[in-house]
């Protein structure tokens, strides 16, 4: 029974924390995407082609490339339990090391020593139309942002709630929406709350307070010098997520505050159709070769950089906005998590448990509509924490009022702790509660945060980011090599790799028409008659 003094979070949690509904707290699916550069034994970028023994990057379900041939991406299947996802990720790493020879996987989010822009290889996906589309998109990224910026790596955490959760939390709006639209709008509620509170993830898990000085390539910056080859900010948590990362003036204000899925999709659809003078000057083709998909603000929807995205599994050649329009939101993709260099896979189970509890907190807490004022406040809080998160006495802004970051963090962790306790009861474990206790310790002592630990480790390597990162990469490589896969596991991975190669060849053999017609058709599918066009919103 609820009382007038209970918060919406407490009311919803009471409803779920029963024998009939408790399973909804730990239902749903989790998947992890880990990006990592291939480097040589000296820590320099390995610029060779994607190893054929790993399979075809276009069609392999678990192993692909991101921007560069050198930037691997490992993808776990969606799992009910994070344990299973992490076990799969562990196996992928162990298999990769059987094929890398002397190469290593870079242990950091910020890149290793990079060659000249011209020598950073763009990912290649074969000669099929869909493969060439992926390659041309990356050519466009190189023109628009530079290649070095695309070599930053991170952890993407994909999370879906149990579909029945939304039906268990009826309200006035629920009675006016069908099941698909209700689920979509609930996910948008979660995203609004994520923007309100995601600064705490940067404090707790940010792990990129320093970077190689040659990464910035002469561009102006406000960083301090730590050593001859390293720049940093003394209280930073995640330079990866600062304005040094994947940013572009063309994207400023691209997606204004949104309160519905349609508003979000309308903004992206406008951007994919809106010409941008600087990109028009570059053109779409040079010497008969496509160099970008279009000359608009965005080539495709995924070019928009966001810390979290509403997602739907897409079909081959389908645009992300088409999938969302026709089938609604299926899951969310958290994109702001740094690689933790002290975790062999860049993320561990305790972090995953906390993310689950945090996202459930975002789902169950009140999520009132947002506006530009709050949007700007959220962005400023996030920026302060990524650059100054461990600064003693750091203050943030909450509903226009100044608040000590540690006070707000403590309050949030207490609320998330209520959910973690209920999740432990549902799972028959103590892992969710333990994840909260670990984060509370970081709030009490900033030296326990990954960013502080990175800076402490740098001092043991002469203040050199590259020296520390290479040593850590070697340590982790040896850990994986010391645990070889079984013969059966190796055979399964080898078979999967060959299957992916065969699938790519099949796609190339069976395609019809030419690439110009294919890309023209692809671009046409953001025409003004889409269901998410702002004129129909």
- Cα(96)–Cα(437) distance, integer angstroms: 34
Statement: residue 535 has pLDDT above 80: no
Q: What is the count of structural domains for the chain? A: 1
Provide the domain limits for residue 493: 14-536
- Cα(21)–Cα(333) distance, integer angstroms: 25
Helix axes 82-97, 487-510, angle to 10 degrees: 80
7 falls within a domain:
no
Whole-number average pLDDT of the chain: 93
- Cα(280)–Cα(300) distance, integer angstroms: 16
| 349: Cα separation from own chain's centroid | 17
Q: Give me the pLDDT at residue 243, please.
A: 85
Q: Which residues pair with 155 in a beta bridge?
A: 34, 337
207 falls within a domain:
yes
* pLDDT per residue as tens digits for the range 458-516: 999 999 999 999 999 999 999 999 999 999 999 999 999 999 999 999 999 999 999 99
Q: What percent of the chain has pLDDT over 70?
A: 95
5 falls within a domain:
no
Q: What is the model's pTM? A: 0.95
**DSSP string across 123-180:** P---SSHHHHHHHHHHHHHHHHH-TGGGG---EEEEEE--HHHHHTS--TTGGGS-HH
2 falls within a domain:
no
- Cα(475)–Cα(472) distance, integer angstroms: 5
9 falls within a domain:
no
273 falls within a domain:
yes
64 falls within a domain:
yes
Q: Which residues pair with 212 in a beta bridge?
A: 230
- Cα(419)–Cα(345) distance, integer angstroms: 27
495 falls within a domain:
yes
Give the residue, 531 or 308, on which the prediction is more confident.
308
Check which CATH number belongs to the domain holding 206 and give it.
3.30.590.20
* pLDDT per residue as tens digits for the range 346-390: 999 999 999 999 999 999 999 999 999 999 999 999 999 999 999
Quickly state the pLDDT bin for 532 (edges 50, 70, 90).
low
Quickly state the pLDDT bin for 534 (edges 50, 70, 90).
very low
Quickly state the pLDDT bin for 533 (edges 50, 70, 90).
low
């Amino acid at each position: 029974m609820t009382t007038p003094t209970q918060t919406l979070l407490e009311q919803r949690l009471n409803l779920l924390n029963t024998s009939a509904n408790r399973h909804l707290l730990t239902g749903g699916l989790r998947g992890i995407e880990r990006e990592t550069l291939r480097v040589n034994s000296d820590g320099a970028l390995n610029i060779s082609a994607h190893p054929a023994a790993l399979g075809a990057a276009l069609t392999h379900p678990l192993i692909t490339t991101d921007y560069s041939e050198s930037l691997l991406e490992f993808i776990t299947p969606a799992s009910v339990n994070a344990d299973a996802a992490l076990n799969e990720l562990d196996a992928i790493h162990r298999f990769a090391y059987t094929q890398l020879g002397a190469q290593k996987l870079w242990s950091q989010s910020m890149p290793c020593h990079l060659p000249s822009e011209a020598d950073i290889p763009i990912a290649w996906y074969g000669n099929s139309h869909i493969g060439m589309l992926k390659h041309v998109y990356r050519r466009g990224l190189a023109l628009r942002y530079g290649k070095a910026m695309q070599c930053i790596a991170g952890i993407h955490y994909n999370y879906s709630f149990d579909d029945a959760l939304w039906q268990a939390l009826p309200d006035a709006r629920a009675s006016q929406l069908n099941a698909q639209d209700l689920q979509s709008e609930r996910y948008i509620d979660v995203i609004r709350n994520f923007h309100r509170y995601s600064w705490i993830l940067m404090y707790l898990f940010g792990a990129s307070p320093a970077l190689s000085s040659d990464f910035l390539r002469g561009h102006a910056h406000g960083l301090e010098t730590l050593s001859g080859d390293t720049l940093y900010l003394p209280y930073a948590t995640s330079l990866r997520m600062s304005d040094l990362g994947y940013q572009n003036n063309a994207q400023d204000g691209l997606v204004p505050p949104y309160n519905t899925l349609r508003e979000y999709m309308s903004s992206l659809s406008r951007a994919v159709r809106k010409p941008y003078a600087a990109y028009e000057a570059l053109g779409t083709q040079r010497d008969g070769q496509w160099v970008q998909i279009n000359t608009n603000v965005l080539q495709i929807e995924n070019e928009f950089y966001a810390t979290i995205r509403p997602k739907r599994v897409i079909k081959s050649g389908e645009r992300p906005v088409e999938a969302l329009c026709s089938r609604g939101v299926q899951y969310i993709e958290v994109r702001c998590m740094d690689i933790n260099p002290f975790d062999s896979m860049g993320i561990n189970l305790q972090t995953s448990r906390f993310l689950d509890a945090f996202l459930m907190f975002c789902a169950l807490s009140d999520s009132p509509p947002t506006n530009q004022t709050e949007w700007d406040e959220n962005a400023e809080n996030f920026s302060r924490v990524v650059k100054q998160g461990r600064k003693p006495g750091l203050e943030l802004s909450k509903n226009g009022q100044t608040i000590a970051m540690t006070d707000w963090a403590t309050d949030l962790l207490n609320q998330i702790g209520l959910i973690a306790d209920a999740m432990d009861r549902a799972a028959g474990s103590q892992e969710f509660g333990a994840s909260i206790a670990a984060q509370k310790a970081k709030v009490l002592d900033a030296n326990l945060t990954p960013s502080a630990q990175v800076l402490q480790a740098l001092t043991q390597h002469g203040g050199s980011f590259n020296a520390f990162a290479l040593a850590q990469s070697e340590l982790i490589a040896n850990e994986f090599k010391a645990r070889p896969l079984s013969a059966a596991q190796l055979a399964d991975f080898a078979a999967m790799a060959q299957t992916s190669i065969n699938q790519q060849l099949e796609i190339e053999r069976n395609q019809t028409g030419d690439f110009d017609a294919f890309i023209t058709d692809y671009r046409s599918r953001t025409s003004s008659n889409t269901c998410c066009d702002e004129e129909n919103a």
